Amino acid sequence: MAASPPTPSPPRALHYRACNLCEAMCGVAIEYEGSRVLSIRGDDDDPFSKGHICPKATALQTLYEDPDRLRTPVRRVGSRWEPMEWEAALDFAAEGLHAVQERSGRNALGLYLGNPTVHNTGALLTVSLFARALKTKHRYSATSVDQLPHMLAAYWMFGHQLLLPVPDVDRTSYFLMLGANPIASNGSLMTAPGIRKRLDELRARGGKLVVVDPRRTETAERASEHLFIRPGTDAQFLLGVLHEVFAQGRVRMGRLAEFTDGLDEVRVVAAKFPPERVAAVTGVSAETIRRVALEFASAPSAVCYGRMGTCTQTFGTTTSWLINALNIVTGNFDSPGGAMFPTPAFDPRTLPKALSGGRGSHGRWKSRVRGLPESGGELPVSTLGEDILTPGEGQVRAMVVLAGNPILSTPNGNQLDKAFGSLDFMVSVDPYLNETSRHASIILPPPTPLEREHFDIAFHMLAVRNTVRHAPALFPIGQEGRHDWQILLGLSARLEALRGGGLFAKLKWKALEALGVERQLDLGLRIGKYGGLRGLSLKKVAAAEHGIDLGPLEPVLPGALPAEQKRIALAPKAVLEDVARLEKSLSADSGLRLINRRHLRDNNSWLHNAPKLVSGANRCTLLMHPLDAKERGLSAGASVRVRSRVGEVVVPLEVTDAMMPGVVSLPHGYGHGRVGVRLSVASAHAGQSVNDLSDDQAIDAVSGNAAFNGLSVTVELGSG
pLDDT tens-digit map of 402-460:
999 999 999 999 999 999 999 999 999 999 999 999 999 999 999 999 999 999 999 99
Mean pLDDT of the chain: 95
Q: 10 Å Cβ neighbour count for 334?
A: 24
**Coil, strand or helix: which one is 322?**
helix
Q: Confidence class of residue 479 from pLDDT cuts 50, 70 and 90?
A: confident
H or E, element range at 140: strand 138-141
pLDDT of residue 694: 97
Q: pTM for the whole thing? A: 0.96
What's residue 351's pLDDT?
Answer: 80
For the chain, state the CA radius of gyration.
Answer: 25
- Asked if residue 720 has pLDDT above 60, the reply is no
Cα 578 to the center of its chain, rounded Å:
25
- The CATH code of domain 165-340 reads 3.40.228.10
* Length of the chain as a residue count: 720
> DSSP letters of 463-532?
BSEEEE-EE--SS---TT---HHHHHHHHHHHHHHHTT--HHHHHHHHHHHHHHHHHHHHHHHHHSTT-S
Q: How much is the average pLDDT of 525-550?
A: 94
3-state secondary structure of 406: helix
Q: Determine which helix (DSSP H) or strand (DSSP E) holds 427, and give its type and residue range.
A: strand 425-429
How many Å apart are CA 330 and CA 524, to the nearest integer? 35
Q: Are the CB atoms for 355 and 128 separated by under 8 Å?
A: yes
pLDDT at 9 over 70: no
Whole-number pLDDT of residue 585: 87
pLDDT, tens only, 627-659: 999 999 999 999 999 999 999 999 999 999 999
Provide the pLDDT for residue 496: 95
Instruction: Find residue 609's DSSP bridge partners.
Output: none
Give the DSSP letter string of 653-685.
EEE-TTBPTTEEEEESS----STT---HHHHHT
Comparing 232-246, 311-325, 441-455, 491-505, the range with the smallest average pLDDT is 491-505
270: amino acid identity, one letter = A
| Dist. CA 440–CA 77, nearest whole Å | 11
Question: Does the 13-65 domain belong in CATH 3.40.50.1970?
Answer: no
Helix axes 573-583, 316-329, angle to 10 degrees: 110
State residue 606's pLDDT score: 86
Question: Under a CB-based contact definition with an 8 Å cutoff, are residues 50 and 38 in contact?
Answer: no
3-class secondary structure, 416: helix
Report the alpha-carbon distance of residue 317 to residue 297 in Å, rounded: 23
Burial of 591 (0-12, 13-18, 19+ CB in 10 A): exposed
* pLDDT tens track for 229-273: 999 999 999 999 999 999 999 999 999 999 999 999 999 999 999
686 vs 650: CA distance, rounded Å? 12
- How confident is the model at residue 8, as a pLDDT? 63
In percent, how much of the chain has pLDDT > 90?
91
Each residue of 43-85: pLDDT tens digit?
999 999 999 999 999 999 999 999 999 999 999 999 899 999 9
- Tell me the average pLDDT across 614-625: 96
Q: How many CB atoms lie within 10 A of CB 556?
A: 15
Cβ atoms within 10 Å of 204's Cβ, excluding its own: 9
Does the pLDDT value for residue 670 go beyond 70? yes
More confident residue, 268 or 10: 268
> Distance between CA atoms of 23 and 35, rounded to whole angstroms?
27
CATH class of 586-717: mainly beta
Pairing, β 398-402 against β 425-429: parallel
Separation of alpha carbons 125 and 130, rounded Å: 10
- 3-state SS class at 257: helix
Burial class (CB in 10 A: 0-12, 13-18, 19+), 589: exposed
Q: At what angle do helices 148-158 and 316-329 cross, to 10 degrees?
A: 50
534: confidence class by pLDDT, cuts 50, 70, 90: confident
Residue 603's CB is within 10 A of a number of other CB atoms, namely 22
Question: pLDDT value at position 3?
Answer: 60
Q: CB of 432 within 8 A of CB of 70?
A: yes
Residue ranges of the domains in the chain?
13-65, 74-146+346-472+484-550, 165-340, 586-717
User: Would the pLDDT of 690 be above 70?
Assistant: yes
463 HSE (CA, 13 A, CB side)? 29
Question: In the 8-state DSSP scheme, what is residue 605?
Answer: B
Q: Please write the tens of the pLDDT for every residue from 84-125.
A: 999 999 999 999 999 999 999 999 999 999 999 999 999 999
Tell me how far the alpha carbon of residue 436 is from its chain's centroid: 18
Q: Report residue 480's pLDDT band, with 50, 70 and 90 as the boundaries.
A: confident
CB-side exposure of 378: number of CA atoms within 13 Å? 28
Q: Is the pLDDT of residue 560 over 90?
A: yes
> Given this model, what pLDDT does residue 478 score?
81
**Structure confidence at residue 357 as a pLDDT band (50, 70, 90):** confident
pLDDT band at 309 (very low <50, low <70, confident <90, very high): very high
Residue 41: the pLDDT is: 97
CA torsion 499-504-509-513 (nearest 10°) is 160
Pairing of β 442-444 and β 425-429: parallel
Confidence of residue 358 (pLDDT cuts 50, 70, 90): confident
Mean pLDDT of 575-603: 90
Pick the CATH number of 74-146+346-472+484-550 from 3.10.310.30, 3.40.50.740, 3.30.230.10, 1.10.10.10: 3.40.50.740
Query: Can you give the pLDDT at residue 385?
Result: 98
